[in-house]
Structure 1
């Protein structure tokens, strides 16, 4: 757990409602989208509410050893599994139980599922960029080169570099718009 998460949890533990509301605001959408992979939207809303109620009610006794992100997604996953098991008793829905249990086997599966989906969509979006635009964008992001360095290597103007990067970012925003809430959330941990 990083130092900022420790401070947040200490504030919640001491009963700071403002920080608790900020946590809810920051995590609830991502947890909801994750829960919707396993259960209905109505059930997912209930699960997210339960996760945050439990966090508040157990705040004094919390002993989180992983990141806050992993903890919240893990609790959400477990509550989804509980919902599915309850439904399975009524509907004999073994396939859904096996699916959630499969994802439960790996502590990093929560992040890897979301990250894999984002990564695949991101790669498809990148493949749609014109070759020069893609080259400039990747030099900027992957190689972390400054615009001046890219311009020198590709023998183009800095203004052209800026235009290519702007075009790529605009394209990615359009292509990834439905993933934007999750992507923004995850990017704060990268």
Structure 2
């Protein structure tokens, strides 16, 4: 069974070399959030995708050994951050964008990295939890997360306003239960 906390089902205190199947799970689980994370540094989604792809290729080619799910995540985010900073510092990229030395230095700080890591991990957790909702609830919540008001959701999906409210109530109850261990991270998403 897939777990939000341990999608690879790795046991603690044991080293792992990823199989092809585990590598695919790793890619499917983290690719989007790593691209978004990298994009916060580069502000260029295509370049961010290239950086993330480069890191995944490196993990595959080097047959990197991991000790736990946390070390996998930590390795990926740190590698992506470092590569993104290398890209920002490169002369070729500098000529393409107008980032100052101070802006790049602020991105190198641990607080910037930590904040971005928490945001991306939160987005990944919520996205996975939303994908497990019943279809109608999922559609309503995805529109709500995109900023649609209840009336706009009702019009878009051609349902009543009361149905939207009832389905959101059901969805939030299920999401709270699914994300109960992570509620501090995701609370800001559900605040009005």
Superposition TM-score, scaled by structure 1 size: 0.50
Instruction: Give the structure with higher Rg (CA).
Output: 1
Give the aligned length.
140
- Give the match for residue 158 of structure 2: none
User: Matched residues in 2 for 1:97 and 1:28: separation?
Assistant: 29
Higher helix proportion (structure 1 or 2): 1
- Give the match for residue 53 of structure 1: 57
Matches within 5 A, 1:71-150: 71-87=75-91, 90-91=94-95, 95=99, 98-106=102-110, 108-114=114-120
The verdict on how the C-alpha distance between 1:79 and 1:11 changes in structure 2, with shifts beyond 3 A counting, is same
User: Matched residues in 1 for 2:30 and 2:98: separation?
Assistant: 29
- Give the match for residue 146 of structure 1: none
3-state DSSP class of the match of 1:18?
helix
16, 19, 37: which one aligns with 1:16: 19
- Aligned-pair CA distance for 1:35: 1.6
**How large is the Cα RMSD of the aligned pairs?**
4.7
3-state DSSP class of the match of 1:79?
helix
- Aligned-pair CA distance for 1:98: 3.5
8 Å CA contact 1:84, 1:97 repeated in 2: no
3-state DSSP class of the match of 1:37?
helix
Give the unaligned 5+ runs of structure 2: 125-143, 151-162, 173-178, 183-192
Superposition TM-score, scaled by structure 2 size: 0.50
2:168 equivalent to 1:167: yes
8 Å CA contact 1:81, 1:97 repeated in 2: no
User: Matched residues in 1 for 2:180 and 2:100: separation?
Assistant: 31
